[in-house]
Structure 1
């Protein structure tokens, strides 16, 4: 059980690029990173407007002298300090991720980056090469994967509780953009601008989250080929999709489906994953994140509750407040930031962290690769394509 006692020797000196005033995701990053005293926020380039960024930085208790006008200045100035930053979180629009992440790695900093990591697999592979050369951690913000129920599902599948995995059905389909809300909402506008968001909207913004859940739960499954169709139901969003369906064939013969949508009218969030095996199935819904549905063929369905002693020890280890109390998104993100910190410290001390899983650079590469293949399939008429 996590109770806030230290996991690492000293808090990691940490900065943010982006995530300033008005950034919902910036607040989630800060709250999660700071929760267990694994990180200490000491610097930032929080806003494209330097004055506004400095004002915000001071309001989150950062020394005004370490509130920088841009990330390049921050990396250069912090490198001159004995107490300079060791890690940085990138919470900026998609089109900037590659450039900032590369600069951070070149400055020998650990990185936590919003997804997608970049726009092309070639760029992603380049970042992976640099990270390995510099011996740096790159964490990807797949924040839902830190829930206890996800860890329980991972252990159940690995232990053979479900038997041979035959099907994985995934969806992340909300309804909040069922109309052209981006015409009045600046925070939504950039998400449908190809210059900023890249070659896809919901495939990258939503689909990669649930895809990574499947990779956490069933890491041995590898996609062999896929077929994707995508639509722009709000016509002004074309060529970017606001709805997409993907079918995947895995190398063991299993099949997977993923529906991602921003126009599922009436749905609050709609992220679900169901894994079907030869003996049993499990299902998790992020609107009820503390429960995992477990269905054994021929027996009544069971609801496995977070924090209970009948779970696998690795799932109970992620518990923070005991069974019965509701945990949510902030706890999930905090669990990931805890793992990021432990891996960062291990590398800095010349140690290994092979027993710590988290969404790392490989997950970032795979997310970009999946988007590219989906777009390639959809833009060629929804045909099957070999996964490459």
Structure 2
């Protein structure tokens, strides 16, 4: 159980780019990073408006001389200090992710980056190589994967409880953008601008979340090929607000040859708050997880009553119970899931600093971010060519 005791010799000196006042995602980053005393917020370039950023830094308790007008100035000035930053989180619109991540790695900093990591596979491969060259950790905030039941699913699949995986049905289909919300909501407006959001909205903004979750559940999963169709149902949008993807998987220890993955990524699913669900169907049993009820997961064996597995219960695999933050029966949520990921990021950063390696330890890393970028590219390629099948490798 995680009880707040420190896991590092000293908190990692940490800064943010973006995530200023009014940013919901910025608040989630700070709450998660600071929860276990593994990070200490000491600097930031919080806002494109320097005066507004300075005022917000004061509210956060960041010293005025460590609040910077932009990320370039911050990296340069912090490098001159003996107590300079060691890591940075990037919580900006998508169009800045690659540039800031690259600059941070070149400055010798660890990085936590919002998804997508960048816009193209060429950029992603460059960041993967740079992270390896600099021996720096890049964590990508696929925040839902920090929920305890994802780790339970991983262990159940690894131990053969489900048998061979045959079908995966996943969705992230919410309804909040069913009308032209971008006309009145600045936070939504940039998401449909290809220059700021990249080549995709629904696939990139929400579809990559369940994609990483199934990768975390099934580490040996490999996509063979895929087919995608996408639409912009709300008139005037440059990027899709709805997409469907079918993927064929290669056979592996956990996955039956020819297994299928069905993905629905949407922002126009009227009435749905999130619609983020994962169902994994095996030859022995199935599991299903819903991120609006993240503390439970159904476990269904043919011919037997449906079981509901509960977070924190003694019957879960030990690897899942490690990330308990409060006794079973109490509800944990998004902040705890993000805090679990930030704890993993901190452990990985500390290991990199000390030249250490670890065994069966996962977190959404730079390769995970690159995989998400590649998946978006392949989906867009398929959809733009009449929903044809596209080889993944």
TM-score (norm 2): 0.98
Aligned twin of 1:244: 243
Aligned twin of 1:374: 379
Question: Is residue 2:88 matched to residue 1:88?
Answer: yes
Aligned twin of 1:186: 186
Aligned twin of 1:126: 126
Query: What's the offset of the Cα at 1:9?
Result: 1.1
The superposition leaves residues 107-137 of structure 1 with CA deviations (integer Å, 9 ceiling, x where unpaired) of: 0000000000000001000000000000000
Question: Is residue 2:219 matched to residue 1:219?
Answer: yes
Which SS does the other structure have where 2:125 is aligned? helix
The superposition leaves residues 157-197 of structure 1 with CA deviations (integer Å, 9 ceiling, x where unpaired) of: 00000000001110000000000010001010001111100
Unaligned 5+ residue runs, structure 2?
A: 252-257
Query: What's the offset of the Cα at 1:75?
Result: 0.2
2: distance between equivalents of 1:353 and 1:333? Answer: 21
Q: CA RMSD in A?
A: 0.6
2: distance between equivalents of 1:58 and 1:296? Answer: 55
Query: What's the offset of the Cα at 1:199?
Result: 0.4
Aligned twin of 1:67: 67
2: distance between equivalents of 1:228 and 1:330? Answer: 33
Question: Is residue 2:303 matched to residue 1:304?
Answer: no
Unaligned 5+ residue runs, structure 1?
A: none
Aligned twin of 1:348: 353
Aligned twin of 2:34: 34
Q: Following superposition, which runs of at least 4 residues in structure 1 exceed 6 angstroms of deviation?
A: none
Aligned twin of 2:174: 174
Match 2:294 to one of 289, 292, 300 = 289
1: distance between equivalents of 2:288 and 2:360? Answer: 26
The superposition leaves residues 221-249 of structure 1 with CA deviations (integer Å, 9 ceiling, x where unpaired) of: 100000000010002113x1000000000
Aligned twin of 1:20: 20
Query: What's the offset of the Cα at 1:266?
Result: 0.2
Aligned pairs for 1:38-57 within 5 A: 38-57=38-57
Aligned twin of 1:165: 165
The superposition leaves residues 12-55 of structure 1 with CA deviations (integer Å, 9 ceiling, x where unpaired) of: 00000000011100000000000000000000000001111011
Query: What's the offset of the Cα at 1:6?
Result: 0.5
Q: How many residues align?
A: 387
Aligned twin of 1:139: 139
Which SS does the other structure have where 2:236 is aligned? helix
Aligned twin of 2:255: none
2: distance between equivalents of 1:51 and 1:183? Answer: 26
Query: What's the offset of the Cα at 1:354?
Result: 3.9
Question: Is residue 2:365 matched to residue 1:360?
Answer: yes
Question: Is residue 2:79 matched to residue 1:79?
Answer: yes
2: distance between equivalents of 1:237 and 1:67? Answer: 36
User: In structure 2, do the counterparts of structure 1 residues 8 and 355 end up closer, same or farther at CA, with 3 Å as the change threshold?
Assistant: farther
TM-score (norm 1): 0.99
